[in-house]
Chain A
Amino acid sequence: MGAFKKMELAVGVFVALGLAAFFMLAMKVSNIAELGEDKGYKVTARFENIGGLKVRAPVTLAGVRIGRVVGIGLDTHTYEAVVTLSIEPRYDRLPTDSSASILTSGVLGEQYVGLEPGGMDEYLKNGGALKLTQSALVLEKLIGHMLTNAVSGDNPPAKTP
Chain B
Amino acid sequence: MIDGLRRLGRSTLFWLNRLGRATLFLLRLLSALPTLAKRPGLAIRQLYSVGVLSLPIIAMSGLFVGMVLGLQGYANLVDFGATSSLGRVVALSLARELGPVLAALLYAARAGSALTAEIGLMKATEQLSAMQMMAVDPFARVYAPRFVAGIIAMPLLAGIFTAVGILGGYFVAVQQLGVDSGAFWSQMQSTVKLFDDVINGVVIKSVVFGWVANWIAVFEGYDAIPTSEGISLATTRTVVNTSLVVLAVDFVLTALFFGV
Residues of A with Cβ closer than 8 Å to B?
Answer: 4, 7-8, 10-11, 13-15, 17-22, 24-26, 28-33, 35, 56, 58, 106-109
A30 adjacent to B81 (CB under 8 Å): no
A11 adjacent to B44 (CB under 8 Å): yes
In whole angstroms, what is the CA distance A11 to B193 when docked? 30
B58 to A: closest C-beta gap in Å: 10
Q: Is B157 an interface residue (CB 8 A)?
A: yes
Kindly identify which residue among A14, A19, A35, A106 contacts B52, using a CB–CB cutoff of 8 Å. Answer: A14
B194 adjacent to A14 (CB under 8 Å): no
B48 adjacent to A11 (CB under 8 Å): yes
B163 adjacent to A21 (CB under 8 Å): yes
The DSSP consensus for interface residues of chain A is helix
Listed from nearest, the 3 A-B pairs whose CB atoms lie closest are A18-B156, A21-B163, A21-B159
In whole angstroms, what is the CA distance A89 to B36 when docked? 54
List, in ascending order, chain A residues with CB within 8 A of B197's CB.
30
Kindly identify which residue among B81, B91, B153, B198 contacts A26, using a CB–CB cutoff of 8 Å. Answer: B198
Interface positions of B from 71 to 101, Cβ below 8 Å from A = 80-82, 91, 95
Give the A-B contact count at a CB cut-off of 8 A. 89
List, in ascending order, chain A residues with CB within 8 A of B47's CB.
11, 14-15
List, in ascending order, chain A residues with CB within 8 A of B81's CB.
106-107
Sample 19 A-B pairs with CB under 8 A, ordered by A number.
A10-B52, A11-B44, A14-B48, A15-B47, A17-B55, A18-B159, A20-B163, A21-B159, A22-B159, A22-B198, A26-B194, A29-B166, A29-B188, A29-B189, A29-B192, A31-B189, A33-B189, A35-B194, A109-B82
A155 to B: closest C-beta gap in Å: 37
In whole angstroms, what is the CA distance A28 to B95 when docked? 13
List, in ascending order, chain B residues with CB within 8 A of A19's CB.
156, 159
- Contact mask for chain B residues 159-199; partner A; CB cutoff 8 A; 1 contact, 0 none: 11011101000000000000000000100111011100110
Kindly identify which residue among A15, A30, A58, A106 contacts B189, using a CB–CB cutoff of 8 Å. Answer: A30
A8 adjacent to B44 (CB under 8 Å): yes
List, in ascending order, chain B residues with CB within 8 A of A21's CB.
156, 159-160, 162-164
Interface residues of B, count at CB 8 A: 34
B163 adjacent to A24 (CB under 8 Å): yes
The DSSP consensus for interface residues of chain B is helix
Q: Is B148 an interface residue (CB 8 A)?
A: no
List, in ascending order, chain B residues with CB within 8 A of A18's CB.
155-157, 159-160
In whole angstroms, what is the CA distance A32 to B192 when docked? 9
A11 adjacent to B52 (CB under 8 Å): yes
Kindly identify which residue among B51, B52, B157, B192 contacts A30, using a CB–CB cutoff of 8 Å. Answer: B192
A15 adjacent to B156 (CB under 8 Å): yes
Q: Which residue of B lies closest to A18 (CB)?
A: B156
B192 adjacent to A17 (CB under 8 Å): no
A68 to B: closest C-beta gap in Å: 10
In whole angstroms, what is the CA distance A84 to B4 when docked? 68
Contact status of A30 and B198, CB under 8 A, knowing A14-B52, A25-B162, A25-B163 = yes
In whole angstroms, what is the CA distance A8 to B91 when docked? 32
In whole angstroms, what is the CA distance A109 to B88 when docked? 13
A30 to B: closest C-beta gap in Å: 4
Interface positions of B from 135 to 159, Cβ below 8 Å from A = 153, 155-157, 159
Q: Is B45 an interface residue (CB 8 A)?
A: yes
Q: Is B202 an interface residue (CB 8 A)?
A: yes
Contact status of A30 and B160, CB under 8 A, knowing A11-B44, A11-B51, A11-B52 = no
A107 adjacent to B80 (CB under 8 Å): yes
List, in ascending order, chain A residues with CB within 8 A of B51's CB.
11, 14-15
- Contact mask for chain B residues 195-211; partner A; CB cutoff 8 A; 1 contact, 0 none: 00110001100000000
